[in-house]
Amino acid sequence: MRRLLLLALVPAVLLGVRPAAQEPAQKPSQRPEQARSSPRDAPIFRLTVSLVQLDVVVTDGKGRHVTTLGPEDFEVYQDGRQQPVTAVSYVDNAEVWEDTSGLPPLPPEALRPRDARRAMAIVVDDLRMSFESIYYSRRGLQRFLDREFQQGDLAMLVTTTGLYRPELTFSPKVLRSAVNRLRFSLWDIRPASILDPIDIGGRAGSGFDPYDRFQQRNFAQDSMAKIDASIDLLKPLPGRKSVILLSEGFTIFGPGLDNALMRDLMQRLVDHANRAGVVVYALDPRGLVYTGLTAADGAGGGVGPMGRDIGSMRSAALRESQDGLRYLANETGGFAVVDNNDLAGGMKRIMVDQQGYYLIGYQPEAGTLAPDSTGKFRHIKIKVTRKGLKVRTRSGFYAVASE
Residues 369, 344, single domain; the answer is no
DSSP conformational letter for 72:
G
Per-residue pLDDT at 309: 73
Task: Answer yes or no: do 66 and 213 share one domain.
Answer: no
How far apart are the C-alpha atoms of 335 and 350, rounded to whole Å? 8
The CATH number linked to 290 is 3.40.50
Of the candidates 350, 369, 385, which is a domain's last residue? Answer: 350
Instruction: Please tell me whether residues 180 and 56 are part of one structural domain.
Output: no
On the CB side of 297, how many CA atoms lie within 13 Å of its CA?
23
pLDDT of residue 208: 53
What does the pLDDT read at residue 10?
38
Judgement on whether residues 266 and 385 belong to the same structural domain of the protein: no
Report whether 213 contacts 207 (CB < 8 A): yes
The set of residues, in sequence order, having a beta carbon less than 8 Å from that of 255 and lying 6+ positions away, is: 213
> 30 in a domain, yes or no?
no
Q: Are residues 245 and 165 in the same domain?
A: yes
Decide if 8 is inside a domain. Answer: no
My answer on whether 297 and 161 are in the same domain is: yes
Domain of residue 192: give its range: 128-350
At 165 the pLDDT is 82
Residues written for the chain: 403
Q: Is 6 part of a structural domain of the chain?
A: no
Cα angle at 179 between 348 and 328, to 5 degrees? 55
Specify the number of domains making up the chain: 2
Q: Does one domain contain both 340 and 374?
A: no
pLDDT at 35: 34
Gap between the Cα atoms of 182 and 364, Å rounded: 46
- C-alpha 43/C-alpha 36 separation (Å) is 15
- Residue 253's Cβ-side half-sphere holds a number of Cα atoms within 13 Å equal to 13
Tell me if 27 is assigned to some domain: no
58 lies in the same domain as 192: no
34 occurs within a structural domain: no
Contact predicate 248/317, CB 8 Å: no
Using alpha carbons, select from 54, 108, 38 the residue that is nearest to residue 86.
54
* Spatial CB neighbours of 390, under 8 Å, sequence gap ≥ 6: 58, 59, 60, 61
In a domain, 220, yes or no: yes
295 with 342, same domain: the answer is yes
Residue-level pLDDT at 290: 77
Helix, strand, coil percentages (3-state) for the chain, rounded to 5, are: 35, 20, 45
Name the packing angle between helices 343-353 and 131-147 (round to 10°). 50
- State the CATH number of the domain containing residue 83: 2.60.40
Q: Is the dihedral of CA 350, 281, 90, 78 positive or negative?
A: positive
Q: What is the mean pLDDT of each run of 10 residues along the chain (403 residues)?
A: 41 39 38 40 85 95 94 96 96 68 67 86 91 94 94 93 86 94 71 56 48 71 90 93 93 66 85 95 91 64 56 81 90 95 94 93 91 85 96 92 76
Q: 73 and 158 share a domain?
A: no
In this structure, the answer to whether residues 339 and 380 fall within a common structural domain is: no
Report if residue 113 sits inside a domain. Answer: no
What whole-number distance in Å separates Cα of residue 76 and Cα of residue 330?
Answer: 17
Q: Are residues 324 and 367 in the same domain?
A: no
